[in-house]
Structure 1
Amino acid sequence: MIQVKQQISDVSRTLGTRRLEAGEARVATIVQVYDTNLDDLWDAVTSAERIPRWFVPISGDLREGGRYQLEGHAGGTVTRCDAPHAFDATWEFNNEVSWIEVRLTAEGDGRTRFQLEHTAHVTAEMWDQYGPSAVGIGWDSILLGIANNVAAPGSAITPEEAAAFVASPEGKDFLRQSADAWAEAAIAAGDDPEQARASAGRTYDLYTGAA
């Protein structure tokens, strides 16, 4: 298992906005450089056989124009695919539609940069209540899963093991540090520090069942 503190520090998180036809949207960007080559990382994040080893089973047509469904999670449409460098997709969950853009860039020395932008319309009330960690913790968990998989490509995390990790002291520490890191990203983007940290605390409580 990847060390929690190291994994949190290996990830960069930024927040911004984007003007869409329906109005202004929030953009959360998360980045990590992995010790693996471009083709291997592309396989890790796009292969229907490999994704379940670090996340959940995925079904559908994983090509441009195809529909996908993550078991018990989001689904959507692949709107762009430029293998092995980029893909875009809708992210449809709880009757809400948002958008993800994934970019992979070779960094040299066998390393590859993973960048994901998640663009979503978020109400002011929802932002004040939970802040960016509402989705950010989930993306941090996904990057942790990818990190574990590229370190040991043949390994797989069972749903039981994932649930046990989240319930463990180490898992709760990971969630807490992720929430705090997203709060700091919100502060850097101009949010009120007290409000940002309070929102992160509420999101952490929600993820750990303390709310």
Structure 2
Amino acid sequence: MIDIVSQINATHREIGNQPLTTGEGRSLRLRRVYDAAIEDVWSACTDPERLGRWLGQVEGDLRVGGTFQLKDNAGGEILRCEEPHLLKVTWVLGEGMPTEVEVRLTSDDNGRTVFELEHASPAQIVDELVRTYGPGGTIGIGCGWDLALLGLDFFLRGVEFDPAAWEDTPEAKEFAVRSCHAWGAAIQTAWGTSDDNIAAAIAFAVQHYAPESGGES
């Protein structure tokens, strides 16, 4: 069993504006602190064998200017790789819109690692999607990254964790529901979304990640 509330509260979430290499962007930002040295966290995020144990199997030409592909997930181009502080890639899922993911690592005074992830999408496309469908899709993207950061925490602490086996458990569904609510609060703070619209958006995201949960926080 995991302490779901503590895991949810360990991540700071916000919505921001992040320039893309192609222009203006809207972004999801996640930040949490891992009790591990920066070199260990960097290796977990860049070494193919270690990456495959918490995020997914990766293959490709893993260098700046090269491309990567995560199994059953996104692929893209490696834009920057500045060990052990910065990794930036394009992030494209299937035929979806091109986006960018940037991971930033810094050491705190206690030897722990502050992990920041920013997932930015073209502002014009995001704004149109939100006007048409509401912010539920954005919440879903954030929930997906919450699950990834949970896997990284388990990996760094040496806890046996199989995301594929765990995702259908009641515990996983509760985590997903709480994640969706946490992202709903972040979106409401950033965009001033009405209570009714944010409730509908949360329900939309929960239906994807935890369809039998009922959507309660």
Cα drift, residue 63 of structure 1: 1.8
Q: Which moved more, 1:20-29 or 1:54-63?
A: 20-29
Gaps of 5+ in 2: none
Q: Contact (CA 8 Å) 2:135, 2:198: kept in 1 or not?
A: no
Question: Could you tell me how far apart the structure 1 residues matched to 2:49 and 2:149 are?
Answer: 18
**Larger strand fraction of residues:** 1
Q: Which moved more, 1:94-103 or 1:141-150?
A: 94-103
2:151 counterpart of 1:145:
yes
Question: Could you tell me how far apart the structure 1 residues matched to 2:199 and 2:205 are?
Answer: 10
2:55 counterpart of 1:49:
no
- For residue 208 of structure 2, what is the amino acid of its counterpart? L
Provide TM-score, normalisation by structure 1.
Answer: 0.89
Cα drift, residue 131 of structure 1: 4.4
1:39-91: CA deviation from partner (whole Å, max 9, x where unpaired): 00000111101011112110012221110000010000010111000011100
2:102 counterpart of 1:94:
no
Name the CA shift for 1:100/1:19 in 2 (closer, same or farther; >3 Å). Answer: closer
2:81 counterpart of 1:81:
yes
Query: Residue 108 of structure 2: SS of its match in structure 1?
Result: strand
For these two proteins, the number of residue pairs brought into alignment is 206
Cα drift, residue 197 of structure 1: 2.4
What is the aligned partner in structure 2 of residue 166 from structure 1?
A: 167
Question: Could you tell me how far apart the structure 1 residues matched to 2:5 and 2:90 are?
Answer: 31
What is the aligned partner in structure 1 of residue 33 from structure 2?
A: 33
Provide TM-score, normalisation by structure 2.
Answer: 0.87
Question: Could you tell me how far apart the structure 2 residues matched to 1:83 and 1:12 are?
Answer: 24
Q: Which runs of 4+ in 1 moved over 6 A?
A: none
Q: Which moved more, 1:117-126 or 1:139-148?
A: 117-126
Q: Which moved more, 1:11-20 or 1:41-50?
A: 11-20
Query: Residue 53 of structure 1: SS of its match in structure 2?
Result: coil
Question: Could you tell me how far apart the structure 2 residues matched to 1:126 and 1:145 are?
Answer: 33
RMSD: 2.1
Gaps of 5+ in 1: none
- For residue 60 of structure 2, what is the amino acid of its counterpart? G
Question: Could you tell me how far apart the structure 1 residues matched to 2:119 and 2:99 are?
Answer: 7
Percent of aligned positions that are identical: 35
1:151-178: CA deviation from partner (whole Å, max 9, x where unpaired): 01xx664xxx423322111100000000
